[in-house]
Chain A
Amino acid sequence: MARFVAKHLLFLLLTLLVVSFLVFTLNEFSPGAVARKVLGAYATQEQVDLLTTQMGLDRPLLVRYVDYVRAVLSGDLGQSARFKAPVRDVIARHLANTAFLAAIAFACIVPLSMILGVMAGMREGSRLDRVILILSTVVASIPEFALGVFLASVFVVWLGWLPGTATLVAGGGWSVAAQLVLPVAVIVLFDAGYVVSMIRASMVEVMQRPYIRTAVLKGLSFRRVILKHALRNAMLTPITVIMLQINYLVAGVVVVETVFAYPGFGRMMLEATLFKDIALVEAGALVAVFLAVVTNILGDLAYVLLDPRIRA
């Protein structure tokens, strides 16, 4: 197990190094480009040159990269031009908001898709199976923004039951809880649809395995066969996918955050990109990659814990 963790941590470090270099290079490749991005299209070439010298941007790329890595390691991620605050604080604040949303969504997605996936897959071709399969396919294939706009027009515009934005500032008569309902609903519907079909497919396959026949012909009740014999086996394949959803929930919900004006990580990245806030984009990319690799490791780890055949 120690070897497993060590190997994956090494891989994590290597990935971060490669990605940071790529992001850094893409953003800062041509001399003067950073200053131009900061100052905008209407600045004179003189102003750009001045800022370039001031920021030390005329030095070779590699030297600047080493400096950047050194700064990052010492905890200094730079200053955000957009939010006029240290990048570290900006990311921490938005990441916390996103983590909050993601945690709620994840806590809904996992049990919901497990229950629906297992119920659909345990009797392939049954009416229940077909209903769940069709519903999950439909919700998973509607784009998030369409789903968001649709739900908003029903519950906000038409019924007036819920607020249309989720700014996390309790105001306008809406509690934070009420604000969260729609974003969570969109994420859960969209994502659970996919996870349900994964679990269903795995369950269908498991139900055809000889050990399920053994369990049935031992005289076990159907309920016991499902819970004791099929469930854990059926979760083996989807567990990695489920863990990867954490990554999607944190770094991939840009659309939902934008639709509902949620002050999260995804929207922060979008804004940073639009405002050419280079320091924030670079740091945000590192965070996103870090999360992607860590969730992958978690997925592998969960698989190892579930399947005794992989444990040494």
Chain B
Amino acid sequence: MTDAPLLDVQGLRVAYTTRAGEVPVLTGLDLSLRAGEALGLVGESGCGKSTVALSIMRYLGRAGRITAGRILFEGRDLVSLDEGALRALRGRRIAMVYQDPMASLNPVMTVGRQLMEVPMVHERVDAAAARARALAMLREVRLADPEAVMDRYPHQLSGGQQQRIVIAMALIAEPALLIMDEPTTGLDVTVEAAVLDLVRDLRRRHDSAILFISHNLGTVARVCDRVGVMYRGELVEEGSVRQIFTDPRHPYTRGLLDCLPTSGRDKRHAPLIPIAGQVEPASARTPGCGFASRCPHVETGRCTTRAIALATVEDDAGHRVACVRVDELAQASRRRATLAVRDAQAPTAPVIAVRDLHKSYERRRARLAARKDVVRALVDVELTAARRRTLAVVGESGCGKSTLAKILTGIEVATGGSVTLDGIEVAALPVDARDRTLKRKLQMVFQNPDSTLNPSHTVGYAIGRALRRLRERAPADVPSGVARLLEVVKLGPEMAARRPRQLSGGEKQRVAIARALAGDPDVIVADEPVSALDVSVQAAVINLLNEIQAERGTTLLFISHDLAVVRYLADHVAVMYLGTVAEFGAVERVFAPPYHPYTEALLSAVPVLDPDAAASRIVLEAPLPRGDEVPRGCPFATRCPRRVGTVCDDVPPPVQQLDGGHRIARHIPAKELAARQVPL
């Protein structure tokens, strides 16, 4: 069995039964995995990557069905196994780690019991032995105080801790195959980095093979040896991490990589190139290449008449591509976009000026608890947004970036301090008290367009309503106004009659942007507008925001946790930590030494595509302090890798003013920091 692969998926076809009939999701997938190897599966939502995982686990639900193919695992075909044999494999030889660890853990069972269950069921060991195993495993996933963690319920742990529990639960039986389905999606970037480092580390100690599924190419590069790129239920390219990321051959892989705001790219130098068109539904499958309708190199006939199999690239062992034109499309043919539009006007007066802004909430510790905590969501926040520019606000969840947006829009009012919008004080002005002109000046775009668009209204009605409300349009003018706004966001006029459920995620977000533009606002506050979108769609929306800004002179306040996007899009950046601004300045200054230690940690946590990336990263092991545990001194003191001493705990750090309006709040002098830090 030395040469036989651990997992060998051959011609796997899976279909889901829907009301419209049977829809094929996987159409003849081949992949194999040797013992101890880590294979990444990447692709956009709907490409079938999770279906691969669930097929291997034989957990497709009642709607899913394996229609053809074999899944050989340790020489046995999983497709034909009965329930009893599957049970013996699941959790013991094949284990799985899921997205959203909170939902994956039983909320009414202590994590210790959930861990102990695995050896108790599979190996029939007694409770004491299972407990010892669980404790050892918790230590291995680097959870502090494992004894105490054993007795906790999932909700008492942070997201990162929960995912470590799920990983411990998967590895406790020493499985031969570990399937990880988007294990870091939804985690903060610093937590993600720590979890990925843990997985890398565990790989070395356990010889489990890993099937790592992710939409984030950077995370795959950090963990895997090989990568498979999926598109519409097929593997279109497969190879080593280096082959895929430095010499992609399939037009789709190239398209994906060109959409990524990888480090070093920004809107001034190398604009993102979105993939044209959108994924066609699985039910509308035609013979030939699935990517043909969006491919810039398509050749009718050769590409569209028959199915295209994976073939090994010449002189490149292990690199397989499903493209008939692979030899003709040399590497040099990758597209390079021309310079993006750039408004060269000199900086103007700030549109938004925030000074000494405070916001605190009172919160019960639990539903039945007597004591109330005062949670300080914003402390002494000071920043400005220049007209016609993009100010990005970044930070981990809970840093106060969304609270800031809520105060700007008037959904919340500040507890203290001042916020001016075009010179008008709005900090204490709730949205109901704002007049039409003020409301018009500032509009918002939210993260999840699904929950912000009313499903029963047509697109035309939603945008038209904003036009009538904010612009006092006569009813006859509205349809033309709607069509014009749809054109601005690059949607056809026929979209006006559609309802949100008939739109894709990217289209919905465009509609949300069009609605925000209805009032011709001076400022658009966009709270994580691209976080829920696939990378190719994300690139298109980012480009759209850029163009709108250049054409209309809109100021954009861009709230994001994604530093790559921020570096690409922003002119100015405010890095927030626990309600305070740790660092503020022009993007090229903030993203270069001297950094605030927190900025440094955030930047080094971003998973990069470069397979050679140095492993010397800063990993924040300590969790984010809770609202009532914020240190007296520097808020970052509990996690800071560059602590200088007790001064950090006791004294709030002074704000140091550097060149060009760049300011950093910390104890270490800028020169000293610059000397110690390397550009990231």
Contacts and interface: CB of A to CB of B under 8 A. Distances in A.
A218 B368 contact: no
* A interface residue count range (under 10 / 10 to 19 / 20 to 34 / 35 or more): 20 to 34
Contacts of A312: 365-369
* B interface residue count range (under 10 / 10 to 19 / 20 to 34 / 35 or more): 35 or more
Interface string A195-232: 00000000000000111011111111100100011001
Nearest to B367: A310
A307 B366 CA distance: 13
Interface in A11-51: none
B102 to A, nearest CB: 9
Interface stretch (B90-98, B494-502, B576-584): B90-98
A1 B217 CA distance: 49
A209 B91 CA distance: 18
The DSSP consensus for interface residues of chain B is loop
Given A210-B98, A218-B118, A4 B368 contact: yes
A194 B218 CA distance: 52
B366 A215 contact: no
The DSSP consensus for interface residues of chain A is helix
A224 B113 CA distance: 13
B368 A308 contact: no
Given A4-B368, A308-B107, A210 B100 contact: yes
Interface in B31-67: 57, 59, 62
Nearest to B97: A214
A309 B109 CA distance: 10
B121 interface: yes
A216 B105 CA distance: 12
B370 interface: yes
B16 interface: no
Nearest to A4: B368
Contacts of B369: 3, 312
B104 A3 contact: no
A311 interface: yes
B87 A221 contact: yes
B433 interface: no
B366 A211 contact: no
B491 interface: no
Contact of A310 (B57, B117, B118, B368): B368
A43 B632 CA distance: 82
Contact of A307 (B62, B108, B121): B108
Contact of A211 (B62, B96, B103, B367): B103
Interface in A253-312: 304, 306-312
B206 interface: no
A79 interface: no
A233 interface: yes
A306 B109 CA distance: 10
B108 A216 contact: no
A205 to B, nearest CB: 13
B59 A216 contact: yes
Contacts of B90: 216-219
Contact of B106 (A125, A211, A216, A304): A211
Contacts of B81: none
The 7 closest A-B pairs by CB, nearest first: A219-B91, A312-B366, A218-B91, A219-B90, A210-B103, A308-B153, A312-B369
